[in-house]
Each structure stands twice: as structure tokens, then as C-alpha cells.
Amino acid sequence: MTARAEKPRENLPVPATRQRTDLTARRSFSPVIAEFQSDAVELEERAPPRIARMTLYCVTALIVSAVVWASVSSIDEVVIAPGKLVTTQPTIVVQPLETSIIRTIDVTAGEVVRAGQTLATLDATFSQADVDQLAAKFAALDAQVKRIEAELAGSDYSTMAGATSNEILQVQLFAQRRAFYMAQLQNFEQQIAGQAASLAASKSQEAVLVDRRENLSRIESARERLYNRESGSLITLLGSRDARLDVEAALTAVKGRADEAEHAHAKLQADRQAFIEDFRRALMEQLVDLRSQRDTAGEELKKMELRRNMVALTAPADAVVLDLAQRSVGSVVKEAEPIVTLVPLNVPLEAEVSINSRDIGRIANDKEARVKFDAYPFQKYGTASGTVRTVSRDTFTPSQQDAAANQSSSPYFKARILLSDTRLGTASDPVRLLPGMAVSAEIMVGRRTVMSYFLYPLLKGLDTAIREP
């Protein structure tokens, strides 16, 4: 082996350049000598393979390309919100109006019912008794009102009355009251006629007495002249004067009786008119009171009929029976206790989802969303599309049952997603969407670069790091 040549050392405090040493300098051997070297030396002296350099270049280019692509490419930002399908109309809760006994239950859970179909029947004994009582009271009051109206109008009530017991009784009362009224009027007419006759007789007698008084006055004057001439006696004169005075007294009495008859005649006419007015006044007062009672009874009857009709619980719209109360035939149900819960049919469906409070800042109305159904895998059936319709203005606290199921008790916001396209599956394998199905909504809230996906957590960590005291 040849000895290594010693390198000259320069007397410098710091070398200006790094000098090659024997260790760093590549050995160069002739091919003849290289054959006698060890394998390690041979590998060291061999040139690197070209494929290694190409691999290094490709990896470097790939990394650079990935960084560039991540910096310029953008991806969707999605907020995932679990929830369920609900109807745009709330569920229908069928309740009794008052405490009663269940007589029949005519539906089962899951059954499709039509509007007006009977769901359950309650005992109608008490409500029917109230209806019958008020109906009888209303009929009696109505018959009285019609009878009084006929009396005031002067018509015959018997021609318009029916054959009910109340109307027959009112016909009899009408006949008696009419007979009494006519009898009273006839009595007044007779008295008035009697007074008119007395007045006429007095007037006639007064006329006769006036004539007699004139004749007696003339006779008295003649006898007075004879007496003054001493041709007649005083007795004859006094007799004539006495006869005249008798006639005048009788005339005065007759005039008094005539005046009394005239006043009595006027009083009887006034009494007759007062009787008529008082009779009508009493009828009017009675009519006003009876009409008020009849109207009140009619309104009460409507309420009682409604209560009676409410014993048959019917479906207000086409729906599906969601739940039934834990009651059987013969059980007592309280007032407003839910018996049947219905889900309306033929109404649009919406997805009601729960949004975490940390994501609510990016959720707004009209945001697009994609809805996946747990019952139908989206890989096979696809997804539904929709838009956010409403977002609650306050948070909701999950119940204990929901908190135990979701393993989270943090408050959340509610949002409604209006489904615009629910065509899932194929024509040969259609799907049916029902309220209550579990869904998962992916709400599109924006776009960001791929690089930001990796940088944001790093920046967040750097911002919060090295702060501990």
C-alpha cells in the first residue's frame, strides 16, 4: 500500500475554505487496483444509480405539487346536524272534552284513518240527558214565544201550532186568554152602551123639562098679570110658580144625571183602552223575558249538543294513528287527556335537525343542505336535497333521555330544512318517507382551501400554546 501524502498546513487562525481531507475526498482507483479492493470500497466508488436520482426528483416534485394543489384547491365546508323527519303541520292530539267513560276504541296504532272516521266513543248518558232537558226547555219557551207573538199580531195561534205537548198546551192557553180578552172587551162595550143609553135618556128628558119650564113660565106670567089686575087669585099664582120650580129642580137633576152619564161613558172608554194597553204591555214584557230565556236556552242547547257529539272522537283530517293512550274499554278518562295521537297525511315533510352551538354562527336561512336517511343507505338510495327554512332564536336543552342516548347534554339550536327533492331509490324499489325517521343533514356553509384545513389547527395551537403561568 502507498503512504498518504501529507497536506501542507497554512498558518491561518480560521481556514477560509474547508479543505478536502482524505476521508471526504473520493478515492479514485484504476480498474486493476479496484479489483483488489473490498466490497465496501467498491460500493463507495461506484456511481449512484440513475433510478434513485429520478425517484428523489419525483418525490420532491410530488410534494411541491401537493402543496401547490392544497393551496389553490377548495373544498366544501359542511355542518353535520342529526335530526328526524317531521310534518309541516303539528301532530293531531284527540282529547275528550270532559271526564267520561270509554265505550269503544275503534283504531289501532299504525292504522290509516280518514277525515271524519270514528276513533273512539265515550259514554253519552250524562250529555244526552243534558241535551234532552235543554231541548224540552227550549221547545216550551219557543211555544210560549210564538203564542204571545200570535196574540200581539191578532192571528190565530192554533193554525200555526204543531202537535207537540207544549204547543197543544199553548193552544189551550191561547184560547182561554182570547176568550177572557174578548169577554172583558164585551163587558166594557156593554157598560159603555148602558152609559150611552142613560145619557141619551137624560138628554131627552132634559129637552122635555125645558119645554115644560117654558110653558110653566108663561102660565106663571099670565097668572101674575091677572093677579096684578086683581082678576086672579094668589093661590093660583103660587101654584103655577111652584110647578115651575118643580120642573126646574127636575131639569137640574136631569142635567146632573146627564153629566154623570157622560163622565161615566168617557171613563168606561178610557178603562177599555187602558185594559187593552195593559194587556198588550204585559204580553210585551213577557215576550221580551221569554225571548231572552229562549235565546239563552238555545245557546246552552248548542253547547250541550256539541258535548254530546264530542263523545264520538273523530279524525279531523286524513292521518296515521301514531299512539294510543294506555286505556281500555270501560276506563275513565279525564278532561283533555290525550287518547289518540295522529300524524297528518298528504302534508309536506321537513327535516328538524339539531345544530351544535359552536356551528350556529355559520347557519342561516336558504343554506343548501343534503339529507341522508338512516333507514335508507345513501350509497344505494341516494340523498334528498333541501334548504334551511328556519333557525331557532334560542337554544334548547336536551332531555335526560336524549342526553343519555346522544352522550351529550350541551344546548343546541333547532333548524327546519325544507326538502325540495325526495326522489330516492328507483322505480322498481321505491321508498316511503314517514315522520319520525332519523336523518343526518349536511348543511353547506361555505368553501375553503385544502391547505387551510391543515393550517387552521396549527395556527389555533400556536395561538393558544405557551401561555401557561
pLDDT in tens, 399-411: 766 655 555 678 8
In this structure, of 7-16, 203-212, 307-316, the range with the lowest mean pLDDT score is 7-16
Quote the pLDDT of residue 387. Answer: 93
Average pLDDT over residues 420-428: 74
In this structure, of 24-38, 132-146, 351-365, the range with the lowest mean pLDDT score is 24-38
Confidence of residue 126 (pLDDT cuts 50, 70, 90): confident
Quote the pLDDT of residue 469. Answer: 61
Exposed, middle or buried: residue 404 (CB in 10 Å: 0-12, 13-18, 19+)?
exposed
Average pLDDT over residues 362-369: 91
Whole-model pTM: value is: 0.55
Average pLDDT over residues 206-216: 76
Quote the pLDDT of residue 32. Answer: 62
Average pLDDT over residues 87-95: 87
What percent of the chain is modeled with pLDDT above 70?
A: 85
Tell me which of 230 and 282 has the higher pLDDT. 282
Residue 20 has pLDDT above 50, yes or no: no
Quote the pLDDT of residue 72. Answer: 85
What percent of the chain is modeled with pLDDT above 90?
A: 24
Quote the pLDDT of residue 405. Answer: 58
Confidence of residue 468 (pLDDT cuts 50, 70, 90): low
Confidence of residue 42 (pLDDT cuts 50, 70, 90): low
Tell me which of 8 and 364 has the higher pLDDT. 364
Residue 451 has pLDDT above 80, yes or no: yes
Quote the pLDDT of residue 284. Answer: 92
Residue 95 has pLDDT above 50, yes or no: yes
Residue 303 has pLDDT above 60, yes or no: yes
In this structure, of 149-153, 162-166, 394-398, 457-461, the range with the lowest mean pLDDT score is 457-461
Residue 456 has pLDDT above 50, yes or no: yes
Average pLDDT over residues 419-442: 81
Quote the pLDDT of residue 349. Answer: 86
Average pLDDT over residues 271-282: 90
Tell me which of 71 and 292 has the higher pLDDT. 292
Residue 244 has pLDDT above 80, yes or no: no
Average pLDDT over residues 230-251: 75
Amino acid occupying residue 203 = K
